[in-house]
Chains A and B, each alone.
Chain A
Amino acid sequence: MSTHALAPAARPRLHPFRDSVTMLRRNLRRMLRYPSMTLTLVGMPVVFLLLFVYVFGGTLGAGLGGPTAGDSADGRSAYVDYVAPAIILMTVTSVIQGTAISVAMDLTEGIIARFRTMHIARAAVLTGHVLGSMIQTAIALAVVIGVALLVGFRPEAGPVEWLAVVGFLAVMTFALVWLAVALGQVSKSVESASNVLLPLVLLPFLGSGFVPTDSMPTGLRWFAEYQPFTPMIETLRDLLMDQPVGDNAWIALAWCAAIALGSYLWARRLFNREPAN
């Protein structure tokens, strides 16, 4: 054995990009190994879509007060177009529940401790989750939008608007996934991780997602109009229906930027804190 075996080498370089790709591969593989989770996550918004279109759609659509109000079949088709953006947002919040769960799962298993003692870019563990969840969300969104189209969703967006929709969804997902990565680390167990995001799933209901906000009592309406999901849903709705988007887009993007930045910093701090005992 050589006495130089442990001689300090030139300080080894970190490879954050390469390590992130490795972690992404790990997360995608885990998703494939555990498909029931993805199915559950995608299933939820699909169930809500069918429920709201076929059970509540006729009546709610009639109450929208559009030109075809009165007839329940027309009401239903009008309501599909109205509710689809909310269901799309709900798809994102559903998938990121899975993000929080898998982050929490990682932390309860020893593998993260191993990563912490290895010479790798620390943030890669988190960016691996973020990238994996974004891919998972993209697939989920394709499925949910496909089902929406099957049940009568008729967007009027042209190619440019669709491009804007995709871009906006990517930004929104990015922000919310980072929030989930932070919340997944806060939760003490895998079980609590699945609950900690429940408010996010319910938030579209307290906004313009399912019914217009002017039908709500004053206090609730005030909340509904100012909560972040309302401008996001309105932006999606306007883009998909080929309407002028106006200020909502900027407000929504500002919310996304704030959520992304705040969550990223929070998640990073949580990850760098010393593991408990």
Chain B
Amino acid sequence: MTTAQPRPAIAATGLRKSYGDKPVLKGLDLNVREGTVFSLLGANGAGKTTTVKILSTLIRADSGDVRVAGHDLAHEPDAVRAAIGVTGQFSAVDNLLTGEENLLLMADLHHLPRDDARRRTGQLLEQFDLVEAGRKPAATYSGGMRRRLDLAMSLVGSPRLIFLDEPTTGLDPRSRRNMWQIVRDLVAGGVTVFLTTQYLEEADELSDRIAVLEGGRVVAEGTADELKRRIPGGHVRLRFGDHRHLDAAMRVLDQPSRDNDPLALRVPGSGSLRSLKHLIGRLDDHRIEVEELSVHTPDLDDVFLALTGKPATENEKATTR
């Protein structure tokens, strides 16, 4: 699958956008493969929403070459619109209409025949756990329900590419987990998801690839693991049955350090198979018994700090926990 190199769902080069004389995007390059989840990770003001707005035809880029769903963004915005679904940061539901009516409105705008519209609406209400709420006006919905309705509305036309701008910002932990499951289900169905988030944990949980956006530029891109490997801090933790084995290990291993646990040691290393083999070989050679071995990679918090030179914002700290 990866060797076939299918047409990218999104291919952008040199994307630039300024508001007045304030540059927001300073030459963004993006490449999103079909059927994957791509996360744009960044703090508030990094340019995430602007990127989504441009890619979803809401605003125009100042310059840059962008193809979305195989269409040139600047010249065929209508064709792009026909292929995408967008759930923005601010809920795009009609508050005076019921959940069901909101979905039927979308079905009408997609020109679905009456029966198909009913079926699709019923199916989405079920899928998003809104059957009971379906007949109530959206104005009465909780934040999580509103977000689900919002996303359900984006899915009425069965788009192959979905933009989610901070889909879980402001949601309680349970609603957030629900939203993650929904995203996973979408991808299992072959949909491409482009999401923005300021939550490291979210990017880690969901994405095939992550681009870290900082000051209008992508400062790093890769899988969560690749990003983690790019920075120091990885180690292998060994736990021993008694002090005799621990002391022996201290003597033969490379740069061991003590752990909080008096019977455990930390050995720096990436956790690659080769280095593990080497480590285990040494322990075997000296007949040192290890009760427990675990590989620790730095979490994305470390990555974010190392890449952007600043800690995650207060907001992120409070909610990524």
Interface residues of chain A, those whose CB is within 8 Å of chain B, are: 1-3, 5-9, 11-12, 14-15, 18-19, 22, 25-26, 29-30, 33-34, 109-111, 113-120, 274-275, 277
Name the residue in A15, A29, A114 with the highest tally of chain B Cβ atoms < 10 Å from its Cβ.
A114
Q: A26-B94, A113-B88, A116-B57 are known contacts. Are A9 and B108 too (CB-CB below 8 A)?
A: no
Give which listed residue, B69, B83, B105, contacts A26 with CB less than 8 A: B105
Q: List 19 A-B contacts (CB under 8 A).
A: A1-B35, A6-B9, A6-B83, A6-B161, A7-B70, A8-B79, A9-B79, A9-B82, A26-B97, A26-B105, A29-B101, A33-B137, A114-B92, A115-B109, A117-B56, A117-B84, A118-B157, A274-B59, A275-B58
State the B residues within 8 Å of A (CB).
4, 6-7, 9, 19, 34-35, 56-60, 69-71, 76, 78-79, 81-84, 86, 88, 90-97, 101, 105, 108-109, 111, 137, 153-154, 157, 160-161, 190, 192
Asked if residues B6 and A3 are in contact (CB atoms below 8 Å), the reply is yes
Main secondary structure on chain A at its contact with chain B?
loop
Q: Which residues of B contact A33 (CB under 8 A)?
A: 96-97, 137
Q: How far is the CB of A271 from chain B (nearest CB, A)?
A: 13
Check if A8 sits within 8 Å of B70, measured CB to CB.
Answer: yes
CB atoms of B7 and A12 under 8 A apart? no
A30 to chain B, nearest CB (A): 5
A1 to B6, CA, bound (A): 11
Q: Are B160 and A110 closer than 8 Å at their CB atoms? A: no
If A1-B190, A3-B4, A6-B34 touch, whether A117 touches B57 (CB-CB below 8 Å) is: yes
Q: Is there contact, CB below 8 Å, between B78 and A12?
A: yes
Q: Could you say which residues of chain B place their CB within 8 Å of the CB of A9? A: 79, 82
Inter-subunit contact B109/A120 (CB<8 Å): yes
Give the nearest-CB partner of B35 in chain A: A1
Which residues does chain B contribute within 8 Å of A2, judged by CB atoms? 190
In the complex with contacts A5-B160, A22-B108, A26-B105, A113-B92 CB distance below 8 A: yes
- Chain B's closest residue to A3 (CB) is B6
Count of A-B contacts judged by CB separation below 8 Å: 99
A-side contacts of B56, CB under 8 Å: 117
| A19 to B78 alpha-carbon distance, docked (Å) | 15
For the A-B complex with A33-B137, A110-B91 known, give 17 more contacts whose Cβ atoms are closer than 8 Å: A1-B35, A6-B9, A6-B70, A11-B78, A12-B82, A22-B109, A29-B96, A30-B97, A109-B95, A111-B92, A113-B58, A113-B92, A114-B92, A119-B82, A274-B59, A275-B58, A277-B19
* A110→B58 CA distance, assembly (Å): 12
CB-defined contacts of B108 to chain A, threshold 8 Å: 18, 22, 25
Bound-complex Cα distance A90 to B137 (A): 33
Contacting residues, chain B, for A15 (C-beta < 8 A): 111
A33 to B102, CA, bound (A): 14
B97 cross-chain contacts in A, Cβ below 8 A:
26, 29-30, 33
Are B93's CB and A117's CB within 8 A? no
* A277 CA to B19 CA, complexed, in Å: 8
Distance from A128 Cβ to chain B, minimum over Cβ atoms (Å): 11
Residues of A within 8 A of B35 (CB): 1, 5
> A223 → chain B, closest Cβ, in Å?
40
Write out the residue numbers on chain B whose beta carbons fall within 8 Å of the beta carbon of A274.
59-60
Q: How far is the CA of A30 from the CA of B19 in the complex (A)?
A: 35
